[in-house]
Amino acid sequence: MIEINKVNVIPAYQMVSMELQRLIVEGTIKPGEALPGETDLAARFGVNRSTVREGIRQLESEGLVRRAGRKKLLISIPGQADISPRVERALLLQDVTFGELWEMAIVLEPLTAARAAERATSEQIQELEDNMVLLEAAVANGTRSEDIDTRFHTLLAQCTGNRALLLSREPIGQLLFRPYVELSPHVPQAPARNLRAHKEILAAIIARDSDQAKHWMERHIRDLRTGWEMAGRRMADRISPT
């Protein structure tokens, strides 16, 4: 008997979404421009309006389209806030381990600090200094500081002006630095060591010393691994949602 494989038929709404994505990525429809209305698109694609509506919902979920009023739809560029949560979810669903994230961080974070030292503007340095004030207060008061810590690393990435670096390291940083709060009870010295590392990195950035910024960030990331292991965790342990 002849073996015949089933034909995989792509739903019409996905075909609509894929074609619109192609036009957006190629620049035929540019960011800020209005997307044609549902009736117009339905006529162009030869489908009904509900199919177009479903295809547009898919574009919205991916951050490629945003609503401006009840009926107007504008093309948009997915930003960090759109991309990072999706990548984080994908990493968690893949049961990514602390060790896998750490291997990425030990490469990306020192590079980020070095580039930040070379490129940070005075306004960005002020943001880092404001963040330092918050971290100092949190450490002094014994309050949770993982959000402040994570924000510091995000600010450093913004200082680089490298969009590829910013988008690629953000989900890794969000997952890697948030478990910090779990380590503190097991490693009492962690908050003080974390604060010192941040201070040294900031001082190097202010001094425009990329080598020192890179050096202290590498120490900082190695400290994170040490704390993880001192808390009885293994590099092969998966990262849990927080």
Cβ–Cβ < 8 Å for 238, 97: yes
CB count within 10 Å of CB 143 equals 10
What is the DSSP secondary structure assignment for residue 118, as one 8-state letter? H
Whole-number Å distance between alpha carbons of 6 and 18: 22
**What domains appear along the chain, each with residue ranges and CATH number?**
12-75 (1.10.10.10), 81-231 (1.20.120.530)
- pLDDT tens for each residue of 132-166: 999 999 999 988 888 899 999 999 999 999 999 99
The torsion region of residue 69 among left (phi > 0), alpha (psi -120 to 50) and beta comes to: left
pLDDT at 133: 98
Q: How confident is the model at residue 1 (pLDDT cuts 50, 70, 90)?
A: low
Cβ–Cβ < 8 Å for 10, 51: no
Whole-number Å distance between alpha carbons of 17 and 53: 10
Highest mean pLDDT among 31-35, 173-177, 201-205: 201-205
- pLDDT tens for each residue of 29-60: 898 999 888 899 999 999 999 999 999 999 98
